Structure 1
Amino acid sequence: MKPVKWFATTACVLILSACAGTPQLTQKPVEIPVHEIAKYWLPEVSGFSYGSAPRQPGTVIVRYLVDSEGDIYDVEIVKSTPEGLWDGVVRKSLRNTTFTPSPLNKARVPVKVTAQYDFSG
């Protein structure tokens, strides 16, 4: 491959991969509790299997960004009890979730969501 062609190809790949990892924001995100998400975004969860889930009950409080394209970014575990036990389940679930704008969200307003997940074990 000629050096110029190789450089152009490499540059395109780097630019595209950088774009894929950056949230798309049409405006500043609005902070909301999870029970208000349907006012802005409707979840689409693709199925997944976690394997053997922990047998102990637990709670995970997580905060994440739904950008203007309905993709999830900046997943942050705020609190986890017992620490770390259910974090993987929550993270995997969020990786398999995308959102479509609700009829009320024609402007595709991005949101920062705080949610609590309780597990019975």
Structure 2
Amino acid sequence: MIVNDLHGAVYEVFPPGFVASFVLVGCSAKAELSLSQDPITVKQSELSQYWVQESQQFSFSNTLTPPSVDGHVSIKYLIDSEGQVFDPQVEESYPEGARDRVALLALSNLEYKAADSNAKAVPVYVSTKFNFNGLDN
């Protein structure tokens, strides 16, 4: 299943039972929140003025069964002063709840670097909409 977000990044989510040639392993210790100042809220269209995704594409395998219809998940999250993602909250999803875990997993793999215009590494809250293509596509 292919997942697209509004940054233009493309993620490939493999179906259950698929064996990938690599494995992404998460650290057992969560990074500490780093704030150079109080976070500000920005629109998706403004995010690139503050933070830029370090990777525009990645793949991962999971044990989630993808639904057969198209859908989306909107998630609000914090990008701290180190470019790490914290406090993800699902704001809306369709079909409701069907892809929340996949979107949260995709979000957990994102890393950001401060944009040239963000020399102070201002932390931001932003919402991203992940669009999913169902198996019927």
Aligned twin of 1:6: none
**TM-score, normalised via structure 1 length:** 0.76
User: CA–CA distance in 2 between the matches of 1:82 and 1:39?
Assistant: 32
More helix by proportion, 1 or 2?
A: 1
User: CA–CA distance in 1 between the matches of 2:110 and 2:75?
Assistant: 14
User: CA–CA distance in 2 between the matches of 1:44 and 1:50?
Assistant: 20
Contact 1:33 1:115 in 2 (8 A): no
Matched residue type, 1:101: A
* Aligned length, in residue pairs: 103
> What is the percentage of aligned positions where both structures have the same residue?
31
User: CA–CA distance in 2 between the matches of 1:30 and 1:70?
Assistant: 14
Aligned twin of 2:39: 29
Shift in Å at residue 21 of structure 1?
A: 4.4
Aligned twin of 1:63: 76
Matched residue type, 1:82: P
Shift in Å at residue 95 of structure 1?
A: 1.1
Indicate the RMSD between aligned Cα atoms, in angstroms: 1.8
Matched residue type, 1:32: V
Shift in Å at residue 93 of structure 1?
A: 1.1
Contact 1:58 1:120 in 2 (8 A): yes
Larger Rg: 1
Structure 2: segments with no counterpart, 5+ residues: 1-28
Shift in Å at residue 92 of structure 1?
A: 1.2
**TM-score, normalised via structure 2 length:** 0.68
